[in-house]
């Protein structure tokens, strides 16, 4: 018991201490040894009261170590497929926490990782990644491993385990293998999750390393050590909009990411943002992890509350043109459309290919078998090797623009005049003026796109980048 407790006083439990004191965990040691006080940490009220903080309230680094809370959080991340706490970054925490599934992954289960190998390999000084992960089988599946101690669950491929042990029940993560139970991420303010050592003797969340462009995995296949020394001064100055002015155990603010939408300046820690509902998506280089803040992430919220009725030929609907404005157009055709999903050999993927995009298969007899090797003709005219993953069906609506051009759209991309239009649609409504079809002028389109920071997602030919062709 610390010497500064009075006679008859009892030391708080971890939970009581974490909810009553406003100082760092170091204060217990400093005060008891030196008989002096330290400056209290200023704790934002939001991180203890707002609903989004509920799953992480016992994980803040300024609180006393609560290993049981870490175990509970790690088990929560493994509640739904693909059961990996690293892949969980790309699934909203609110959905995982509220899931009624609660089932544990089977001992020998293998699932499909959500993160392409390119995301681990790409960094600011390695913009031309080209690697094949040996921890996945020929179908692209990877073994699920659960740490016997901290209960963190990961894909062998995501965590860098090349030699999967036969006795998976006794497997331990790197942190627990090294008996570093108090290890904490130096890039954020939260505990829990999958950790790997850094080159400067600290620890870092794998997901934090994934999302920060300056941070890289020195050994890409092992996912360690993680080099965090290249973080820029400008990034180090960014403050997290969710936990500011909270500091982590290194008495620093860690390193923040920013929203990828246009010129948005919103900044936040990776783990804070994940808990607060910020959307993370995998994408093609140069955007291996695309981040959308809550301000710009309105599409999913609107989609949940929206009732999509069937449309017919002759109906009118607003549709987004490539100049980012919405125009009222006629629906001239309604038909079903089958899309193909593939994983490319360079680590990227696509889930909206047309059957005719496959160059080496006659799709008139149906799709290729799952796992088949295919060649995909991309929009740049090149052929890319890929593995076929399956099909999905959508009802497609062909609309006719004012200049007579036609283009197919999914139902959720169309807005009826009778619907309550969201702000981002209503503010961009437009019509063709007396300057005949001026919306189709290339110079105006380029100006509009530049103003709104349109996201570019080219398919990159890594073989060309590496000089193989």
The one-character DSSP state at 294 is T
Averaged pLDDT, 350-379:
86
Residues 266 and 344 placed together within one structural domain of the fold: no
Residue that wins the pLDDT comparison between 395 and 186: 186
- Chain-centre distance of CA 230, in angstroms? 22
Which pLDDT does position 105 carry in this prediction? 64
Which pLDDT does position 155 carry in this prediction? 93
> If you search the block for the tokens 């190998």, which residue do you land on?
117
Contacts of 107 (CB under 8 A, 6+ apart): 168, 169
- Looking at the domain assignment, is residue 140 inside a domain? yes
Which pLDDT does position 468 carry in this prediction? 44
Angle ∠(404,409,410) on CA atoms, nearest 5: 160
Q: Give CA–CA dist 448/442, Å, rounded.
A: 10
- Residue 368, token pair as written in the block: 């290729």
Query: Do 186 and 229 contact (CB within 8 A), yes or no?
Result: no
The model's pLDDT over 121-151, given as tens digits with 9 standing for 90+, comes to 766 665 555 555 567 777 778 999 999 999 9
Instruction: Please choose, from the candidates 341, 288, 285, 339, the residue with its C-alpha nearest in 3D space to the C-alpha of residue 459.
Output: 285
Which pLDDT does position 386 carry in this prediction? 85
Residues 165 and 251 placed together within one structural domain of the fold: yes
- Looking at the domain assignment, is residue 236 inside a domain? yes
- Residue 298, token pair as written in the block: 């309105």
Please provide the DSSP assignment of 415-453 as one string. Answer: E-TTS---HHHHTTB----TTTTGGG-HHHHHHHHHHHT
Which pLDDT does position 451 carry in this prediction? 46
User: Which of 292, 316, 332 is the endpoint of a domain?
Assistant: 292
Please provide the DSSP assignment of 57-98 as one string. Answer: TT-BTTSPP-HHHHHHHHHHHTSSTT--TTGGGGS-HHHHHH
Residues 373 and 232 placed together within one structural domain of the fold: no
Residue that wins the pLDDT comparison between 160 and 449: 160
Burial group, residue 132, by CB count within 10 angstroms (0-12, 13-18, 19+): exposed
Q: Give CA–CA dist 456/284, Å, rounded.
A: 9
Residue that wins the pLDDT comparison between 134 and 318: 318
Burial group, residue 36, by CB count within 10 angstroms (0-12, 13-18, 19+): exposed
Residues 235 and 104 placed together within one structural domain of the fold: yes
- Looking at the domain assignment, is residue 130 inside a domain? yes
The model's pLDDT over 40-66, given as tens digits with 9 standing for 90+, comes to 567 788 888 889 999 999 999 988 999
Which pLDDT does position 294 carry in this prediction? 87
Instruction: Please choose, from the candidates 57, 38, 33, the residue with its C-alpha nearest in 3D space to the C-alpha of residue 47.
Output: 57
Q: Answer yes or no: is pLDDT of 10 > 50.
A: yes
Q: Whole-number mean pLDDT of the chain?
A: 79
Contacts of 451 (CB under 8 A, 6+ apart): 324
Residues 181 and 271 placed together within one structural domain of the fold: yes
Query: Do 273 and 242 contact (CB within 8 A), yes or no?
Result: yes
- Looking at the domain assignment, is residue 278 inside a domain? yes
* H/E segment holding residue 337: strand 326-344
Give residue 384's domain range.
304-452
- Looking at the domain assignment, is residue 141 inside a domain? yes
Residues 273 and 314 placed together within one structural domain of the fold: no
Query: Do 424 and 412 contact (CB within 8 A), yes or no?
Result: no
Instruction: Please choose, from the candidates 142, 120, 137, the residue with its C-alpha nearest in 3D space to the C-alpha of residue 129.
Output: 120
What is the domain count for the chain? Answer: 3
The model's pLDDT over 87-129, given as tens digits with 9 standing for 90+, comes to 999 888 888 887 666 556 656 788 888 887 778 876 666 555 5
Residues 17 and 87 placed together within one structural domain of the fold: no
Query: Do 284 and 290 contact (CB within 8 A), yes or no?
Result: no
Q: Give CA–CA dist 346/349, Å, rounded.
A: 9
Q: Answer yes or no: is pLDDT of 17 > 60.
A: no
CA distances from 159 to 72, 87, 100, 105, 285 (A): 20, 10, 27, 17, 21
Residues 259 and 310 placed together within one structural domain of the fold: no
- Provide the CATH number for the domain around residue 250: 3.30.40.10
Which pLDDT does position 439 carry in this prediction? 47
Residues 82 and 21 placed together within one structural domain of the fold: no
Tell me the whole-structure pTM to 2 decimals.
0.65
The model's pLDDT over 413-467, given as tens digits with 9 standing for 90+, comes to 899 988 888 877 888 888 765 444 444 445 554 554 444 443 344 444 434 443 4
- Looking at the domain assignment, is residue 466 inside a domain? no
* Range with lowest mean pLDDT among 103-112, 212-221, 386-395, 448-457: 448-457
- Provide the CATH number for the domain around residue 357: 2.30.30
Residues 81 and 17 placed together within one structural domain of the fold: no
Q: Give CA–CA dist 131/152, Å, rounded.
A: 26
Which pLDDT does position 244 carry in this prediction? 84
Residues 30 and 83 placed together within one structural domain of the fold: no
Q: Answer yes or no: is pLDDT of 403 > 90.
A: no
Residues 236 and 358 placed together within one structural domain of the fold: no
- Looking at the domain assignment, is residue 459 inside a domain? no
- Looking at the domain assignment, is residue 193 inside a domain? yes
> Which pLDDT band holds residue 205 (cuts at 50, 70, 90)?
very high
């Amino acid at each position: 018991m610390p010497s500064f407790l009075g006679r008859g006083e009892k030391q708080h439990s971890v939970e009581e201490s974490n909810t009553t004191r406003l100082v760092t965990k170091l204060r217990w040691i400093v005060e008891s040894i030196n008989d002096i006080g330290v400056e209290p940490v200023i704790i934002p009220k939001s991180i203890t009261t707002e609903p989004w903080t509920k799953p992480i309230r016992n994980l803040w680094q300024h609180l006393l170590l609560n290993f049981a809370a870490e175990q509970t959080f790690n088990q929560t991340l493994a509640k739904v497929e693909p059961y990996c706490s690293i892949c969980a970054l790309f699934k909203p925490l609110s959905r995982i926490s509220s899931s009624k599934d609660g089932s544990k992954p089977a001992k020998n289960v293998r699932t499909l990782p959500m993160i392409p190998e390119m995301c681990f390999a790409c960094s600011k000084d390695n913009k031309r990644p080209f690697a094949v992960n040996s921890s996945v089988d020929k179908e692209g599946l990877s073994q699920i491993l659960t740490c016997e101690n901290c209960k963190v669950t990961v894909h062998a491929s995501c965590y860098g385990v090349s030699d999967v042990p036969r006795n998976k029940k006794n497997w331990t993560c790197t942190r627990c293998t090294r008996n570093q139970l108090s290890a904490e991420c130096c890039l954020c303010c939260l505990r829990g999750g999958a950790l790997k050592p850094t080159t400067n003797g600290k620890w870092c969340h794998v997901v934090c390393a994934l999302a920060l462009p300056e941070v890289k995995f020195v050994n890409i296949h092992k996912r360690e050590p993680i080099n965090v020394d290249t973080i820029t001064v400008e990034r180090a100055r960014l403050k997290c909009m969710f936990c500011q002015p909270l500091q982590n155990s290194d008495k620093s603010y860690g390193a923040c990411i920013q929203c990828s939408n246009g010129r948005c300046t919103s900044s936040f820690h990776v783990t804070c943002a994940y808990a607060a509902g910020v959307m993370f998506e995998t994408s093609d280089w140069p955007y291996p992890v695309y981040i959308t803040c809550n301000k710009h992430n309105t599409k999913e919220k609107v989609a949940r509350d929206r009732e999509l009725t069937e449309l017919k030929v002759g109906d009118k609907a607003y549709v987004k043109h490539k100049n980012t404005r919405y125009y009222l157009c006629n629906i001239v055709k309604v038909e079903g459309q089958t899309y193909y999903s593939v994983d490319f050999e360079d680590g990227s993927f696509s889930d909206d290919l047309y059957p005719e995009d496959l160059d080496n298969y006659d799709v008139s007899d149906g799709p290729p078998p799952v796992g088949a090797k295919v060649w995909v003709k991309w929009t740049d005219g090149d052929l890319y090797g890929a593995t076929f993953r399956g099909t999905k069906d959508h009802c497609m609506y062909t609309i006719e623009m004012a200049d007579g051009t036609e283009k197919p759209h999914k139902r959720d991309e169309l807005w009826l005049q009778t619907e309550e239009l969201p702000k981002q649609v209503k503010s961009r409504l437009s019509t063709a003026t007396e300057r005949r079809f001026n919306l189709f002028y290339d110079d105006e389109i380029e100006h509009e796109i530049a103003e709104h920071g349109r996201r570019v997602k080219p398919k990159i030919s890594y073989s060309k980048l590496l000089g193989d062709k």
